[in-house]
Amino acid sequence: MNTQVLIDTARALVADDKGLLAMDESNPTCNKRFAALGIAQTEDTRRAYREMIVTTPGLGECITGAILCDETIRQHLKDGRSFVTAIVDAGIIPGIKVDTGTTPLAGFPGESITEGLDGLRERLAEYAQMGARFAKWRAVVAIGDSMPSEGCVDANAHALARYAALCQEAGMVPIVEPEVLMDGGHGIERCFEVTREVLRTVFHELRLQRVNLAGMILKPNMVLPGLTCPTQVTQDAAADATFRCLFTAVPEAVPGIAFLSGGQPGEVATARLQALNYWFKSKAPWALTFSFARAIQQPAMEIWHGDEANVPEAQRALYHRARCNRDARQVDGTPAS
Ligand code: 13P
């Protein structure tokens, strides 16, 4: 393992106020989003959609890294280039989602565990050979009556740490994504407590598995009230709770925190990212960045609608959301001296 390469890649992924674009939806998830818009759900429509994304003019001005799924990394653009080549040509670092999805956790009704460790060393070697320089694994934690359980949090944190160690062995930067879901009527304080506990457990496991914290990126949820909680909060309050939570749980050695959007409307996710940077950029030991899927892609997918003729307009919408998120990182509330 070349530690300096890992550190350099991790730093590059969070540099220059840019962020990550997650475009690694599994086939069932991508199909579900297509079906909701009346778009055909075929291998070629998924390919064409992702070709629209990676050929967006200027995307590399806002995006450092793009996360692909297994299907896309094996596909090609109409001009014959592989997706990896097209992404590199756009000045973007290619990454790959390597978990194989979630499954119910035995003995814990309503909770899930993320799978994909079996054979991961070999899969990572193949992806590295194909040009991927970083990877992603998403664990999912739900809040509810007596959830999350310690068993669920522990099992998912352990799997994340095993995955991260294997990535670093393969020379790839692990994106460590423990997502506390927004579903539920819980208040922001409950999300704060659960997120803090999950992050502390994840970092305990990462240390046990000897993961180099300077060569990874954390991809957490923002700290927010549940979707059906009657008490919603301002952007500033969400930013404050999120920063306080992360500050008590995330070691300084981690170069960057790249938030997921988790189903927040695009503009709202951007506003919260902006509030985080406005209030905390100068205090935070890590970059506060983004790794959004829906919050960048959704308007573009709606405009594209499976029709080649809509590509330029869809690309303008995609660029706009990516640019807004880059701009959100460029604010900083430090008073001028
Ligand atoms: P969202 O931003 O749509 O939550 O997706 C991020 C992601 O990569 C989920 O794994």
Question: Tens digit of pLDDT for each residue in 213-264?
Answer: 999 999 999 999 999 999 999 999 999 999 999 999 999 999 999 999 999 9
Q: Is the CB of 260 under 6 A from ligand 1?
A: yes
Rounded to whole angstroms, how far apart are CA atoms 274 and 293? 17
Phi and psi for 167 in degrees, rounded to 5?
A: -60, -50
Among candidate residues 91, 70, 55, the one with its CA nearest the CA of residue 24: 70
User: Is 177 annotated in the active site?
Assistant: yes
Q: Which amino acid is at 237?
A: A
Rounded to whole angstroms, how far apart are CA atoms 150 and 204? 14
Between the CA of 24 and the centroid of ligand 1 the distance, in Å, is 9
Rounded to whole angstroms, how far apart are CA atoms 39 and 32? 10
pLDDT band at residue 32 using 50, 70 and 90 as cut-offs: very high
Whether the per-residue pLDDT at 75 is higher than 80: the answer is yes
> Rounded mean pLDDT of 190-199?
98
CB 190 within 8 A of CB 202: no
CB 75 within 8 A of CB 47: yes
> Rounded mean pLDDT of 191-210?
98
Phi and psi for 287 in degrees, rounded to 5?
A: -65, 145
Is the link from the previous residue into 148 a cis peptide, with omega within 30 of 0?
Answer: yes
Q: Is the CB of 262 under 6 A from ligand 1?
A: yes
Name the token pair of 224.
């927010």
Name the token pair of 12.
């590059």
> Rounded mean pLDDT of 263-290?
97
129 Cβ partners below 8 Å, 6+ apart?
none
Q: What is the pLDDT of residue 335?
A: 72
Q: What is the DSSP letter of 131?
A: T
CB 97 within 8 A of CB 68: yes
Rounded to whole angstroms, how far apart are CA atoms 314 and 319? 9
Cα(first)–Cα(last) distance of the chain, in Å? 44
Rounded to whole angstroms, how far apart are CA atoms 55 and 176? 27
Q: What is the pLDDT of residue 165?
A: 98
Between the CA of 18 and the centroid of ligand 1 the distance, in Å, is 17
Q: Which amino acid is at 155?
A: A
What radius of gyration do the chain's Cα atoms show? 19
Q: Is the CB of 295 under 6 A from ligand 1?
A: yes
Whether the per-residue pLDDT at 50 is higher than 70: the answer is yes
CB 258 within 8 A of CB 222: no
Choice from 20, 26, 260, 321 to test ligand 1 binding pocket (greatest atom count within 8 A of CB): 260
Q: What is the pLDDT of residue 18?
A: 98
Q: Is the CB of 294 under 6 A from ligand 1?
A: yes
For the segment 132-183, what is each residue's pLDDT rounded down to a tens digit?
A: 999 999 999 999 999 999 999 999 999 999 999 999 999 999 999 999 999 9
Q: Is the CB of 221 under 6 A from ligand 1?
A: no
Q: What is the pLDDT of residue 183?
A: 98
- 310 burial level (CB within 10 Å; 0-12, 13-18, 19+): middle
For the segment 87-134, what is each residue's pLDDT rounded down to a tens digit?
A: 999 999 999 999 999 999 999 999 999 999 999 999 999 999 999 999
Q: What is the pLDDT of residue 26?
A: 97
Q: What is the pLDDT of residue 333?
A: 86
Q: What is the DSSP letter of 132?
A: -
Whether the per-residue pLDDT at 194 is higher than 80: the answer is yes
User: Is 97 annotated in the active site?
Assistant: no
Rounded to whole angstroms, how far apart are CA atoms 304 and 25? 17
Between the CA of 101 and the centroid of ligand 1 the distance, in Å, is 13
Q: Among the options 18, 97, 136, 219, which is catalytic?
A: 219
Q: What is the DSSP letter of 308?
A: G
Whether the per-residue pLDDT at 337 is higher than 70: the answer is no
pTM value? 0.97
Between the CA of 220 and the centroid of ligand 1 the distance, in Å, is 10
Whether the per-residue pLDDT at 68 is higher than 70: the answer is yes
Q: What is the DSSP letter of 104?
A: E
